[in-house]
Structure 1
Amino acid sequence: MLNLFKKLHHKYVFLRRIDVLSNQIAIQIPDNINLLDIGCGDGTISKMVLDNKKNITIKGIDVFARESCAIPFKMFDGKTIPHTDDEFDATLFVDVLHHTTNIKELITEAARVSKKYIIIKDHHYNNALDFGILKFMDWVGNAPHGVKVIYNFKNLDFWKTTFSELGLEIENINCKVPIYPFPFNLIFGRDLHFITVLRKKEL
């Protein structure tokens, strides 16, 4: 059963997701910046962002070492980002934070090493049905690859409150990210996904 889900997910979601997210992120990020991709995986999305936006540089960190990574890569412990304060112009999380138990701490670390921007792609839910759909999506997308899923999804109020508490202003937020094709988008798309560009408040 897992192998079947893996094949279907790769055919109808995985490749489209990479293409859509890399394009959406490239549109959102400013020109002429250096960016840190936190939880970069094999670097595929960041590499495609670079292909779409030539005038930026991207490095990555992750808690898992891959056999190969499409961008310059460094290991980290999942808590402390191994870079200095304000080393980057922007930091990026792509579907990373809901896999962690320390969301606020990681966003704080991302803000520490960023001069200005924190860009987050993640999920939010409005009700129990949404939460159940997100759990199913996460299981299908990760369990076949041996990735641990903890379903730490949050509602939009949590995200907005967290950003405010951490001194981050929402510069832009998009809750209509077209990852899924029709008719799957009617169930798994809707407004369950978001990409936001956060700016550090000036002291």
Structure 2
Amino acid sequence: MDFLRSARKVTTLSRRTNPREAASSKALLNTLHGAAVLGRRVRVLSRLLAQYLPDSARVLDVGTGDGSIAAEIKRLRPDVTILGVDVLLRPSTQIPVVLFDGAHLPLEDASVDVVTFVDVLHHTQNPLGLLQEAARVTRRHVLIKDHLKTGILAYATLRAMDWVGNYGHGVALPYNYLSLDEWGRSFRDAKLRPEAWLEKLHLYPFPAGMIFDRRLHFLARLARE
């Protein structure tokens, strides 16, 4: 409840027009999110993703942010090599990051073993386009962690989570969440075939997980058809 009250305070501050106050509110939101959610999320997702990577894989992490998840994967799996790409370059990153235009991955065909998207595709207006690009540059797999628009108040819950986690970093927030059927169609259109699917990720501790986990998240490993 303290976190929710603080987030409401940040929301009020962010509506003010003074740039210094807006920057301060974003910094406060980032601090709150980091303390309440981010550390556990990095640990859980890194462990799950690491187990799906082939030996000595070359990995492209799309929308890598500050590279914290990729860096933790690298710690768990020192045999892999990871390059990040993003539409925004953070002041400090934990892995090498290259700027890209958000639509065209700056790599040759079949040049990496795995492409990863960790909570990235719902930030785009054209998830299918990026999936098709991933299918082009990967030799083996595409790993996706994203959201499912399913269940009571799913959209409202996901939107609130997205805002808290990303507003302070200036990340685009189109709130483009897909249902299970919509994901399935996108995979087929991108000529990608699911090999593994996991929904119980346990990203949040009890009792928060009863609200924010549910069936709102999934991790999938896809192979080229």
Counterpart in 1 of 2:33?
9
Under a length normalisation based on structure 1, what TM-score does the superposition of the two structures give? 0.94
- Unpaired runs of 5+ residues, structure 2, are 1-8, 11-24
Counterpart in 2 of 1:190?
214
1:88 maps to 2:115:
no
- Unpaired runs of 5+ residues, structure 1, are none
Supply the distance in 1 between the matched residues of 2:127 and 2:49 (Cα, whole angstroms).
20
Counterpart in 2 of 1:97?
121
Give the partner amino acid of 1:114.
T
Supply the distance in 1 between the matched residues of 2:66 and 2:30 (Cα, whole angstroms).
18
- Give % identity: 42
SS in 1 for 2:221: strand
Q: CA deviation at 1:73?
A: 1.7
Q: Which runs of at least 4 in structure 1 moved beyond 6 Å after TM superposition? A: none
Q: CA deviation at 1:68?
A: 2.4
Aligned pair in 2 of structure 1 residues 171, 50: CA closer, same or farther (>3 Å)?
Answer: same
Give me the CA root mean square deviation. Answer: 1.4
Supply the distance in 2 between the matched residues of 1:7 and 1:65 (Cα, whole angstroms).
19
Supply the distance in 2 between the matched residues of 1:9 and 1:71 (Cα, whole angstroms).
22
Counterpart in 2 of 1:110?
134
Supply the distance in 2 between the matched residues of 1:77 and 1:198 (Cα, whole angstroms).
24
Supply the distance in 2 between the matched residues of 1:139 and 1:67 (Cα, whole angstroms).
21
1:33 maps to 2:57:
yes
Aligned ranges 1:1-203 → 2 under 5 Å = 1-2=9-10, 3=25, 5-127=29-151, 129-201=153-225
Supply the distance in 1 between the matched residues of 2:103 and 2:71 (Cα, whole angstroms).
24
Supply the distance in 1 between the matched residues of 2:193 and 2:41 (Cα, whole angstroms).
27
> Which structure has the larger Rg?
2
- The answer to which structure has the higher strand fraction is 1
Give the partner amino acid of 1:124.
L
Task: Give the length in aligned residue pairs.
Answer: 201
Is the contact between residue 151 and residue 215 of structure 2 (CA under 8 Å) also seen in structure 1? no
Give the partner amino acid of 2:132.
T
Aligned pair in 2 of structure 1 residues 144, 67: CA closer, same or farther (>3 Å)?
Answer: closer
Under a length normalisation based on structure 2, what TM-score does the superposition of the two structures give? 0.85
Q: CA deviation at 1:27?
A: 1.5
Higher RCO, 1 vs 2 (CA within 8 Å, ≥6 residues apart): 1
Is the contact between residue 191 and residue 224 of structure 2 (CA under 8 Å) also seen in structure 1? yes
Is the contact between residue 177 and residue 191 of structure 1 (CA under 8 Å) also seen in structure 2? no
